[in-house]
């Protein structure tokens, strides 16, 4: 006789069912397909995707459910207590095979020339559920292709109308760029307006497409899936550190695809991370060490170039020597930079090359709330931040948070376009951001997530904004998340790539007093906050450049060039916004005789006859890595007094933020790249007689530029918005100081 104690105990929020005779427990409200996946019982599917809303329009997942009159779609049938499901019964298999036959009726069956061949879900499922001979003999439907831009290629005749791409565009990207056109057998998937995809994460439609209808335009026809070698890697264009696989053939990186990590990038990838590998193969890659003699460059052997570099380092006293690193440099490279500086007695060491306000000695810090927690936040405040361009996948997380009911508040100098509605919005000049944040903080409820972006971090009075943000943090009203200004700024701070006692920061180093400077991974014409000032300082010093690229401007400034590899070509560790140390493996072959950055620094260390280091390989180096905790200070800079003129708003273009993306041809062809321009409020332009499209001359006291005028009500009347990292805008400093604008003759 059974008793209550003999029965299995089931939690109140769980349902018990049987699938193919196997007992499965799953949360209430789950669908049959989710229960089968949890039990590792395969059910074929096309339209279902675990990250997308359920559509139930392909019917490939039909299963046999006891006491139902017909097969049921597993993706849209909720589980019930005591339900019995059969995925391999005759009724289920017949239904699945019939659906497969109908799906292939209009499919072109062009697998030999399809770029998706070998990794196509339709191909895989048809092997198990398709018929060996087609009974369809009539003419197949043909659908014209669309030009969706430089990143996504289309072959819409292959489309099976699963609508994964439509649901991704609407629910994940939030751009609603794709949809179904016409009805019934004439249904087509495409853009409503015939324009290119404008989403910064549009490449994910390639991954969700189960057939070859949407493919990677950059990778198309270059290789087959079975020819490629996959290596684990990381995104290095923002500090999220998206997990990915790099696929290479014979040492050439041909594409990037996402690697699932729910805590970081889920299963998505930004277009910037997906397509930037094109920049690895620019014609100006540094492939050989070079030495300048009597004003002329020549290729040198490594030993000779290292000896010349060591001589430069020792040519000036330690107090007049500086080391500057790009904030995307790896932890291994950061450790070697700090070790080199320490052994030389150099205290002038920094990676904060975009920062202007050092009054509080601010450094990048780990987020108070993880990126996964931000998605569940109830209130989010964006300050001086174009989150959609600065960290696209964090923007996507915020989009999901808003769908769950979160309120987003914005304090910005530009009315940036987001894919979610904002609860409140304050569009103020950069100089007023700190005051606006203080005023808003008085009304803020506890538990908000406060995100400071590029504009807030790089202003001339950024310490005041950080102070206002920290006051909210310390009061318990907000969790502070400051976007690091570089992919590995947190890791470099932890490795001690910061000024030593009595040393000078990146801003102070460029005052022209240094006689010897080591640049690591930096393009001087773009990467500094004030290009004109930086170039003047470098002209007056002996310069060693550890660089992946050789440009004419770098040749003008440097005395020795040592070629280094980029992250896809080396083993490296990066620290992301959650404080995660993540590893990347080398996927591409180093060009010419270029070497990993840490190896170059290790060899330079030896060439300078410094105390012997115990390690000779990367494992030994990693054994010595010590992560230090570095906190920002509390000092405040002097606020700039207002004067006549226009206040400049500076932002980095989404696809020109670093040397690699600037050389990625497809990203440069993307319509999000607007080119150098001067954005003004129509009322302000009218006052000085400027019109849309006219060329205006802009000056800030240190340099000038001639830029086309674009009129927009997105900014305050007292401001002009000029993006950085363009050759045309490089002469202008990136401060929020006043600019003078007049019509060009």
DSSP labels for 529-561? Answer: S-HHHHHHHHHTSEEEEEESB--HHHHHH-SEE
Q: How far apart are CA 237 and CA 272, in angstroms?
A: 7
> Reduced to 3 states, what is the DSSP secondary structure of residue 165?
helix
* Structural contact between residues 652 and 725, judged by C-beta atoms closer than 8 angstroms: yes
Residue-wise pLDDT tens digits, 674-705: 999 999 999 999 998 899 999 999 888 778 89
Q: How far apart are CA 437 and CA 435, in angstroms?
A: 5
Q: Give yes or no for residue 67 having a pLDDT over 80.
A: yes
* Structural contact between residues 458 and 482, judged by C-beta atoms closer than 8 angstroms: no
Residue-wise pLDDT tens digits, 106-120: 999 889 999 998 999
Instruction: Select from 3.40.449.10, 3.40.50.150, 3.40.228.10, 3.30.70.141 the CATH code of 371-482.
Output: 3.40.228.10
- When mean pLDDT is compared across 184-198, 240-254, 579-593, 724-738, the lowest value belongs to 724-738
Residue-wise pLDDT tens digits, 596-616: 999 999 999 999 999 989 898
CA nearest to 57, candidates 103, 107, 120 = 103
Q: What pLDDT is stored for residue 7 in this prediction?
A: 47
Residues 6+ apart with CB under 8 A from 356: 458, 459, 460, 462, 507, 529, 530, 734, 735
Q: How far apart are CA 309 and CA 543, in angstroms?
A: 9
Q: Give yes or no for residue 12 having a pLDDT over 90.
A: no
CA nearest to 412, candidates 400, 422, 397 = 422
CA nearest to 601, candidates 492, 520, 490, 496 = 520
- CATH level 2 (architecture), domain 4-103: Roll (3.10)
Q: What pLDDT is stored for residue 629 in this prediction?
A: 84
Instruction: Quote the tokens at residue 696.
Output: 């205006």
Residue-wise pLDDT tens digits, 403-417: 999 999 999 999 999
Q: What pLDDT is stored for residue 5 in this prediction?
A: 45
Q: How far apart are the two ends of the chain, measured CA to CA in Å?
A: 101
Q: What percent of the chain has pLDDT over 70?
A: 96
Q: Give yes or no for residue 640 having a pLDDT over 60.
A: yes
* Structural contact between residues 463 and 359, judged by C-beta atoms closer than 8 angstroms: yes
Q: Give yes or no for residue 559 having a pLDDT over 50.
A: yes
Q: What is the mean pLDDT of residues 99-109?
A: 92
* Structural contact between residues 653 and 725, judged by C-beta atoms closer than 8 angstroms: yes
Residues 6+ apart with CB under 8 A from 98: none
Q: Give yes or no for residue 10 having a pLDDT over 60.
A: no
Please state, rounded to an integer, the average pLDDT across all residues of the chain.
Answer: 93
Q: Give yes or no for residue 184 having a pLDDT over 90.
A: no
Q: How far apart are CA 352 and CA 462, in angstroms?
A: 13
Q: What is the mean pLDDT of residues 467-489?
A: 96
Q: Give yes or no for residue 2 having a pLDDT over 90.
A: no
Q: Distance of alpha carbon 322 from its chain centroid, rounded?
A: 30
Residue linked to tokens 């990693």: 622
- Alpha helix (H) residue ranges in 515-640: 524-527, 531-539, 552-557, 597-607, 618-623
* Structural contact between residues 436 and 417, judged by C-beta atoms closer than 8 angstroms: no
Q: Distance of alpha carbon 528 from its chain centroid, rounded?
A: 20
Q: How far apart are CA 680 and CA 712, in angstroms?
A: 6
Q: Give yes or no for residue 1 having a pLDDT over 50.
A: no
Q: What pLDDT is stored for residue 641 in this prediction?
A: 55
Q: Give yes or no for residue 186 having a pLDDT over 90.
A: no
Q: Give yes or no for residue 3 having a pLDDT over 50.
A: no
- Residue 629 DSSP one-character state: P
CA nearest to 173, candidates 200, 146, 194, 153 = 200
Residue 738: which pLDDT band, with cuts at 50, 70 and 90?
low
Q: Give yes or no for residue 630 having a pLDDT over 80.
A: yes
Residue linked to tokens 């697998």: 111
Q: Which helix (H) or strand (E) holds 40?
A: none
Q: What is the mean pLDDT of residues 698-715?
A: 90
Residues 6+ apart with CB under 8 A from 296: none
Q: How far apart are CA 5 and CA 2, in angstroms?
A: 8
Q: How far apart are CA 442 and CA 478, in angstroms?
A: 12
How do the residues of the chain divide into helix, strand and coil, expressed in percent and rounded to 5?
30, 20, 50
Residues 6+ apart with CB under 8 A from 602: 336, 613, 621
Phi, psi of 253 (to 5 degrees): -75, 120
Do domains 4-103 and 371-482 share one topology? The answer is no
Residue-wise pLDDT tens digits, 266-296: 999 999 999 999 999 999 999 999 999 989 9
Q: How far apart are CA 122 and CA 160, in angstroms?
A: 9
* Structural contact between residues 601 and 310, judged by C-beta atoms closer than 8 angstroms: no
Q: What percent of the chain has pLDDT over 90?
A: 85
Residue linked to tokens 């019939």: 98
Q: What pLDDT is stored for residue 628 in this prediction?
A: 83
Q: How far is CA 126 from CA 62, 103, 286, 501, 557, in A?
A: 15, 10, 48, 67, 61
Q: How far apart are CA 50 and CA 643, in angstroms?
A: 55
Domain spanning 646-743: CATH 2.40.40.20 = yes
**Domain spans, the chain:** 4-103, 290-359+489-623, 371-482, 646-743
Instruction: Select from 3.40.190.10, 3.40.930.10, 3.40.50.740, 3.40.50.720 the CATH code of 290-359+489-623.
Output: 3.40.50.740
* Structural contact between residues 430 and 417, judged by C-beta atoms closer than 8 angstroms: no
Count Cβ atoms within 10 A of the Cβ of residue 448 and give its class: 0-12 exposed, 13-18 middle, 19 or more buried.
buried
Q: Length of the chain in residues, anyone?
A: 745
């Amino acid at each position: 006789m059974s008793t209550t104690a003999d029965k299995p105990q089931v939690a109140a929020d769980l349902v018990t069912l049987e699938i193919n005779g196997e007992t499965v427990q799953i949360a209430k409200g789950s669908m049959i397909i989710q229960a089968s996946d949890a039990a590792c019982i395969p059910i074929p599917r096309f339209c279902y995707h675990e990250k997308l809303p359920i559509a139930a329009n392909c019917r490939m997942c039909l299963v046999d459910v006891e006491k139902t009159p017909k097969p049921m779609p597993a993706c849209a049938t909720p589980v019930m207590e005591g339900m019995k499901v059969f995925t391999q019964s005759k009724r289920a298999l017949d239904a699945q095979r019939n659906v497969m036959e109908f799906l292939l009726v209009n499919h072109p069956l062009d697998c030999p020339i399809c770029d998706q061949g070998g990794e196509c879900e339709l191909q895989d499922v048809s092997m198990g559920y398709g018929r060996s001979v087609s009974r369809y003999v009539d003419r197949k439907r043909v659908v014209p292709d669309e030009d969706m831009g430089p990143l996504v290629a289309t072959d819409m005749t292959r489309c099976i109308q699963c609508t994964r791409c439509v649901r991704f565009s609407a629910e994940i990207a939030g751009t609603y760029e794709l949809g179904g056109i016409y009805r019934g057998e004439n249904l087509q998937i495409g853009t409503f307006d015939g324009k290119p995809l404008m989403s910064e994460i549009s490449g994910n439609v390639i991954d969700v497409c189960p057939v070859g209808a949407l493919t990677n335009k950059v990778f198309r026809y270059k290789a087959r899936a079975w020819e490629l070698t996959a290596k684990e890697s990381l995104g290095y264009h923002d500090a999220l550190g998206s997990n990915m696989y790099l696929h290479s053939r014979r040492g050439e990186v041909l594409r990037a695809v996402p690697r699932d990590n729910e805590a970081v990038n889920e299963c998505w990838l930004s277009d910037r991370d997906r397509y930037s590998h094109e920049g690895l193969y620019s014609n100006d890659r540094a492939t050989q060490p070079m030495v300048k003699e009597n004003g002329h460059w020549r290729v040198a052997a490594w030993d000779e170039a290292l000896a010349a570099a060591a001589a430069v380092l020792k040519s000036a006293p330690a107090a007049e020597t500086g080391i500057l690193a790009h904030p995307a440099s790896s932890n291994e490279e950061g450790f070697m930079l700090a070790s080199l500086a320490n052994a030389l007695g150099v205290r002038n060491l920094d990676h904060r090359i975009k920062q202007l306000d050092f009054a509080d000695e601010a450094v990048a810090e780990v987020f108070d709330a993880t990126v996964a927690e931000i998605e569940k936040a109830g209130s989010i405040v964006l300050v001086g931040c174009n989150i959609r361009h600065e960290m696209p996948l964090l923007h996507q997380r915020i989009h999901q948070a808003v769908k769950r009911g979160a309120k987003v508040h914005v304090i910005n100098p530009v009315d940036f376009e987001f894919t979610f509605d904002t609860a409140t919005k304050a569009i103020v000049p950069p100089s007023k951001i700190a005051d606006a944040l203080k005023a808003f903080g008085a009304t803020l409820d506890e538990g908000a997530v406060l995100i400071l972006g590029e504009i807030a971090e790089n202003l001339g009075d950024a310490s005041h904004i950080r102070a206002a943000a920290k006051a909210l943090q310390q009061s318990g009203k907000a969790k502070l998340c400051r976007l690091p200004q570089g992919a590995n700024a947190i890791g470099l701070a932890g490795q001690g790539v910061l000024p030593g006692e009595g040393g000078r920061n990146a801003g102070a180093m460029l005052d022209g007093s240094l006689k010897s400077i080591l640049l690591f991974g930096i393009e001087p014409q773009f990467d500094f906050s004030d290009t004109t000032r930086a170039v003047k300082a470098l002209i007056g010093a002996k310069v060693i450049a550890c660089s992946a690229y050789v440009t004419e401007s770098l040749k003008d400034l440097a005395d020795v060039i040592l070629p280094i590899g980029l992250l896809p070509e080396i083993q490296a560790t990066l620290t992301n916004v959650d404080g995660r140390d993540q590893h990347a493996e080398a996927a591409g072959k180093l060009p010419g005789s270029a070497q990993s950055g840490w190896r170059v620094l290790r060899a330079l260390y030896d060439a300078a006859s410094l105390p012997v280091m115990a390690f000779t390989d990367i494992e030994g180096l990693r054994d010595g890595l010590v992560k230090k905790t570095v906190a920002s200070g509390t000092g405040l800079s002097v606020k700039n007094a207002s004067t006549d003129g226009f206040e400049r708003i500076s932002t980095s273009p989404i696809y020109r933020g670093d040397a690699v993306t600037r050389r990625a041809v497809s990203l440069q062809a993307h319509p999000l790249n607007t080119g150098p321009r001067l954005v003004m409020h129509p009322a302000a332009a009218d006052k000085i007689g400027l019109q849309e499209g006219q060329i205006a001359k802009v000056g800030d006291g240190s340099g000038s530029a001639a830029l086309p005028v674009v009129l927009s009500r997105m900014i305050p009347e007292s401001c002009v918005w000029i993006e950085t990292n363009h050759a045309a805008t490089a002469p202008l400093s990136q401060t929020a100081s006043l600019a003078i604008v007049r019509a060009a003759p």
